[in-house]
Every structure is written in structure tokens, then in C-alpha cells.
Amino acid sequence: MDNKALFKIGYGLYVLTAKDGEKDNGCIINTLLQVTDSPLSGVIAVNKRNYTHDMIVKTKEFNISILTTETPFDVFNNFGFKSGRNINKFLDNASIKRTKNNIAYLPDHSNAYLSFKITDTIDLGSHSMFRAEITDGEVLSNAESLTYAYYHQHIKPKPGEQKRGYRCTVCGYIHDSDTLPEDFVCPLCNHGAKFFERV
């Protein structure tokens, strides 16, 4: 199996946000679909290792910020490569706004936001799929929506000096070793050994 074939699927990139009590958190996801118009609903898939996953399982609500091609890499570094279990991802972001459900969204780097209330959860193994009613939304700009392909071609930093070892084909992390265990998981993006290539 050539896992690089998966990167040809047309994904968008989004920031999923949640709030549990006074705690705000968010993570990057690439799976969002509108599935019905009556009732108006959508589905997302979220890795169970993400702290945001645990928050929305508990609270049953979340927001999606639809990112634009103008989104800087810092947004991905903050929401994609760090854990909200260890840091406050919103600490240095003065531009955060809240929707009617009191959950944050990213107005500076999004062309729209959507608010959701979970109606159903399906266990998919490594991920959970959440079907949810779309309760609110607003168009913020006419900027082009960001795709996974655009992110890799124009936003993600290019590798500098090559190290020996194994590189994650998703986020670029390099595991500096002559061997890669079959059960190895990338410490930055949580993808398994099959997503690594020898460098």
C-alpha cells in the first residue's frame, strides 16, 4: 500500500474548538461534511488522542473555524502540534471571539465559522465521528478556503538540513534513529509508523 495515495484526497483544514467550564481548547482537523439540510447537520471525525475530543464528548458542543489560504503556519503549530492538556492554546491570542454557544473561534484566519450540537457519536477505532446539528454560522470573508494540498505546498515549512532517520510525511517530524518500531506514533501529529519514510 502506498500511503501517499491518501494525500490525493481533497481535504479542507479546520480548527475545531470546544469549551469545558472555563477551559478553551482547539485542534486541527481535516474531516468536515455537511450531510443533510433537513435537519441541517454535519459530521466531523476527531482523533481520540486529542484533548478537544474528550471535551466535546463531555459537552456535546463545538465550533469549526474554516481556515483560509492566508493562515500562517503559527496557527498549525499552536493548534496542531501542541496539546491543550499541557498548554493554553488561547493564551496569546487577543483576536479570539465567541459565538452564541460561548465557544471560541478564530476570526483572523477564517472565512466562516459554524456551531454544532452533537446528536450522535460513532466509534471508528482511532477516531470518533460526531454527527451534529448545525446551530449557527457566519461568513467572515471571501478569502479562499484552505485545502490540505495548499497547506503542504505553500504554508508548511520545507525541511532544512536533512537528518538521518525517518520523517513523518504528514507533519515533517524527523525521528533520528536507524530503526522505527512498528508501533511508533509521531509525537507531533499522532500518525503511526506507516506514515513515515526513510531519510
The pLDDT tens digits for 75-123 are 988 888 778 888 888 877 667 899 999 999 999 999 999 999 999 999 9
In 3D space, the residue among 6, 4, 5, 26 whose CA is nearest the CA of residue 14 turns out to be 26
**Which residues constitute the domain of residue 168?**
159-199
Highest mean pLDDT among 2-11, 55-64, 144-153: 55-64
12 and 94 belong to one structural domain? yes
- Chain-centre distance for alpha carbon 180: 25
The pLDDT tens digits for 145-188 are 999 889 988 988 776 544 578 888 877 777 878 888 888 888 77
179 and 137 belong to one structural domain? no
Place of cell 510525511: 169
Please count the structural domains in the chain.
2
CA distance 175 to 166: 5
Which CATH number goes with the domain that contains 199?
2.20.28.10
Q: Considering all CA atoms of the chain, what is the largest pairwise distance in Å, rounded to the nearest integer? A: 54
The reply to whether the predicted model has a pTM over 0.75 is yes
pLDDT average, residue stretch 10-33: 93
